[in-house]
Every structure is written in C-alpha cells, then in structure tokens.
Amino acid sequence: MTNRPDGRKADELRKMHAKVGVIKRADGSALFQIGDTIAIAAVYGPRELHPRFLQNPEKAVLRCHYDMASFSVTERKKPGPSRRSVEISLVTQKALGSVVDLKLFPNTVIDVFIQIIQANAGTRCAGITAAAMALAHAGVSMKEMVAAISVGKIGDKVVLDLTKEEEDFESGASDIPVAITSYDKSVTLLQLDGEVTRKELSEALKLALKGCNEIFKIQEKVLKEVYTQQPFLEKSGVSQKQPLAASGGKK
Ligand code: ADP
C-alpha cells in the first residue's frame, strides 16, 4: 500500500531521533521524537517518599506525570491537568511499572515527568518510550526496556504509526497504542479507540512488534553510547566538563 498522506508504507515508522541527558538536574532524562511528535522525560529518584504514609515498605512507588504543552498543538491547548492527561499518566505508570525493579527501593518514590512539546499523534507512546530511556539513564534497575507505538486502521488497511491527519481520516480510523517489553515481548499497554476485527487486531499487534523492535535498537544505541563514552558520575552531572548527550536515529 502507498496512499498514506506522507508516502510511507503501511509498516513504516516515521523518522525517529533519540537523546539522553537532556535535563542536567534530573537523575535521568531523555528526548524521543517520532515524526513531528516530541516527548521529553525526566526522572527524579528513587528518593524518600513524603508524606511518609504514602510509602510502601516493600517497594518503591512509581509516579508518572504526563502533560502536553499548550503550544504543542496548532490550536492552543488549555494548560493544566485534564481527564486525558490523568488517564495517560496512569496507563504510562502501568506500562512501565512491571519492568522497573521497584522492590529494590522500599519506601521511596520514583517520579517520571513526561512533557509533550510537540504533538502529531502517538504522544502517549512517545512519552512511554522516552520515559523508559530516562529511567535507564537514571540508573534505575530494570528487567528490560519498554517501547511503545500506535498502530491503527485507516479505512480497511492496518498501518503502523499513525499521524494526526491519518487519525482524523474522514471515513474513520482506529487507533491502537501498544507498549511492548524488549526481552519477553510482553504487552504492557494495549488500548483501542475505534473498532477492529480479531484478525485486524492480530495484524496490528504484529506491526506494533515490528515497530517496537526498531525503537529498541535506537534506545539501546543511545544508552550504550552515553554509558560507554562517560563514567557514571559525569553522566549524573557531578562533572559537567563534557557534553552529556549522545544521539542516534533511524535513516
Ligand atoms: P495520543 O496522543 O497518545 O495519540 P489521543 O488519541 O488522546 O492520544 O490524541 C491524539 C492526538 O490528538 C494527539 O497526539 C494530539 O496530536 C492531538 N490532541 C490531543 N489533545 C489535543 C488538544 N487538546 N488539542 C489539540 N490536539 C490534541
């Protein structure tokens, strides 16, 4: 199939760019761009959780905060939390929670702030992908990585990584954000906006796996670069003589 507005094939991702160490004051941070969608994630912690009654003596509390900047979309978005941002923060926490070794850090909190600075569909997926990189960059112990991508149906065709223009397709589109872990290939996020048949869903999941496998390669490349080029203390901002960022990208 061609006929996608930007000329991509059905199983083709938008151009990607990733970078870690974008926010020096954070314990870990990352930027992930896919097409015109740009997400920045910053991780603070693990640190002691206050007030204390919120602490869990058996494991860390993972808190995710998703927000879309007012200027990220063409028509200014009303600032502040919304039902949508609360929902996305929650599904992000669920998508990442199973891979983080929370039992290693009892009584602590790990805060993950995700800011969408430019939106053109797939923002929750870009946010999850950036957040997983930021957690790894912070040195938080993780069993595996997580990447996320949206798949969907435009007309009767299943395609990977929809743009906003495709999501708004006049005769209807279905959007399926999916997050997958790098080793077990477990699905940690699966949402559906629209209608698909069982066969289409299975086709969509295969496409999502293909997309996530491409994203894992970029995540790994960028994280390996920063850890092999710089000792841990420099990465964490103790010495700031060298640039902190490494970057990688598809194509
Ligand atoms: P996702 O961002 O994960 O695709 P949604 O399906 O909620 O989640 O949103 C689809 C797209 O719609 C977003 O990526 C963004 O481009 C756009 N969008 C969401 N909220 C707004 C808003 N308040 N104003 C303008 N565009 C928005």
30 in any annotated domain: yes
64 in any annotated domain: yes
236 in any annotated domain: no
| pLDDT over 60 at 135, yes or no | yes
If we measure between CA atoms, which residue out of 18, 105, 148, 123 comes closest to residue 67? Answer: 123
201 in any annotated domain: yes
CA angle 20, 71, 222 (to 5 degrees): 10
Number of domains in the chain: 1
pTM above 0.85, yes or no: yes
Q: Is 175 in the pocket of ligand 1 (CB under 6 A)?
A: yes
Per-residue pLDDT tens digits for 86-120 = 999 999 999 999 999 999 999 999 999 999 999 99
127 in any annotated domain: yes
249 in any annotated domain: no
3-class DSSP assignment, residue 193: strand
Q: Is 123 in the pocket of ligand 1 (CB under 6 A)?
A: yes
- Give the range among 57-61, 92-96, 161-165, 240-244 with minimum mean pLDDT: 240-244
* Mean pLDDT of all residues belonging to the chain: 91
Q: What's the pLDDT band for 230 if we cut at 50, 70, 90?
A: low
The atom of ligand 1 lying closest to the CA of 82 is 23
Q: Is 120 in the pocket of ligand 1 (CB under 6 A)?
A: yes
Over residues 39-56, mean pLDDT: 97
| pLDDT over 70 at 235, yes or no | no
Residue 42, token pair as written in the block: 């910053």
129 in any annotated domain: yes
Ligand 1 atom 17: residue of nearest CA: 121
- Residue 96 belongs to what domain range? 16-231
Amino acid type, 229: Q
CATH number at residue 222: 3.30.230.70
Ligand 1 atom 12: residue of nearest CA: 121
